[in-house]
Structure 1
Amino acid sequence: MTHPYKGLDTPAFWRASVGSRHFADLEQLWDPIQLGLEDKIATAGSCFAQHIGRNLQQRGARFLDVEPPVVSFPSKDEARRWGFGVFSARYGNIYTSRQLRQLFLEAHGERQPEEVVWEKDGRFYDALRPSVDPVGQESPSDVLDLRQGHLAAVRRMFRDLDLFVFTLGLTEGWESTSDGTIYPVAPGTLAGDYDKRKYQFRNLRYSQVMQDMREFWKLLKEVNPKARMLLTVSPVPLAATASKNHVLVATTYSKSVLRAVAGDLASENEDISYFPSYEIITAPASRGMFYDPDLRNVNQFGVDVVMDHFFSGRLGETFVAQQDAADDGELICDEGRLDVSQPV
């Protein structure tokens, strides 16, 4: 007798590829993309995306940094506190698909948010990237001038990149009730003041995330026909939820939606790929070994395992690890400010 599973390769079967192996010995979790030393790579997304960018740089990739520091900092970590070198542009964390789409539209002059400036203790902050300026500006006009320079850099990045690596992080966010602008953090956490008449909670559904990403992809290909995209999903659980569900249930919903969108986009488009960092860290077979004791932050062992899988096959042959390189810098994660039990 025959059946459609007869003769499939080992990775198709749980017992042979997962159940009978130590998790550190898993193989063929993805088919590495074609990527060369000449390809210009840009990154954006949630906190976990920073690991991919760092490791690409350390292995000699042509990493785009369109907003380098304009002054000297005593250390790389200090520069990162000001948003430099965290991602390819100084936009801070882009957690949601809606943020990404709105940023692209604004950078290309097709959208203008009504509220761009937030105030705190007499200083002024860019509401759409409040974490990149720890001390704020003297006036709203200073914030707006700096934002124009930032948008020009973002525009160059989208025009010049060959590969855009985007890590989907959240479905939850807070948006303006007047024009739908969605912010990276809730008003009142880093700057600004929460007013329920001005802001409302938004938990994006599958259809909304998919629409955002499809529109973004269409727009990106219009300005940069050669662009490709690599999607990942952050394995970091929500720090807090405003959904009225338990944070564990809210995390499961959010990550399930994002994983489904990423998979469908990769299936529909030959220029979009998916890398399973989410599965590597969260799979039951890992028995939680890749998380810190808080069961939220991914430990260095987990990061190393993810990067070993990422740079497998032809990618490992092209991008060779340097002996003195280490992915040990502090992650910049705006969402952590939502958990009042964590030091801020």
Structure 2
Amino acid sequence: MDVVSDAISAVRIGQPSSDRVRVGGRWCTRLAPYDGAGFHVVLEGSCWLLPDGGSPVVLGPGHAVLLPHGTGHVIADGPADAAAVKRAVPFEQLAGTMAAPAPEDGSGAVEMLCGKYRLDRSRSHPLMAELPELVHLPSREDAHPELRGAIGLLGRELERHRPGAGVAVPSLLDLLLVYMVRSWMEEARSGTWPAALGDPVAAAALRALHSDPAAPWTNERLAAEAGVSRPTLARRFTALVGRPPMAYLTWWRLNLAAALLRDTADPLSTVARQVGYGTPYALSHAFSREFGTTPGRYRAQAGAGRGASSDR
């Protein structure tokens, strides 16, 4: 695994949900804040998106938008003033009624793929926490070919209703999330994690830790993996990532343990081995210090939370 894959896997739960919506005429809809990440892909036409507390964004064909922190927002056929926002219908109503019909000649029609990713934010990787409130990725021929390819595949799968679409669409939506995060990192002009993963020393060390977190890492071994001296590794890694290499490793191991406790029924001894702890007692002690609760209680609470989420 790599940092981006691990950062997404650590918070992703369940399957993404999506609606394909085709609207025309005058329309305005509101999506309430959500404990997850929202996304929109414009397949045809254009519209406006107004995030809560933010500036409006014009979306055209092939544009993708990710709202990684579940920010509430309005989508409309054009600039939405205060009066229009007050009249906005809930998105569920828009998706259910398909809004006003588009003109017969198709002019003015807007077709979108709108959806949500369920996220467990209790122990989010800082890379995901660093994402801005809104990531807007316009369609450009010279950028993000994988993202454009995924959007094209999604549009065709949803249009033709071919056999296997029930598996293909959720898988493509998962790919879409990866490509949107990756595209943001490629375009970011600032930020801790784009800088860290763009630095050859920090990136090499992070790849090594994430590829085998259970290995008996030391500063010396990690420095050799990155091809630098131990002081150089410590200085560059700490400056870019925000904590020393071994402190980051401990933190990541405990987050992996939390994910395994949440998502599997593996006994604590198995979880301990998978994340690099020699005994269940050693893991339990470190886990309780980090999370303020025992692994058993954490697993029970996580199970209760999953049940509540599945009921919504």
Q: Same fold (TM over 0.5)?
A: no
Q: TM-score, normalised by structure 1?
A: 0.25
Question: Which one has the bigger helix percentage?
Answer: 2
Q: Give 1 or 2 for the bigger CA radius of gyration.
A: 2
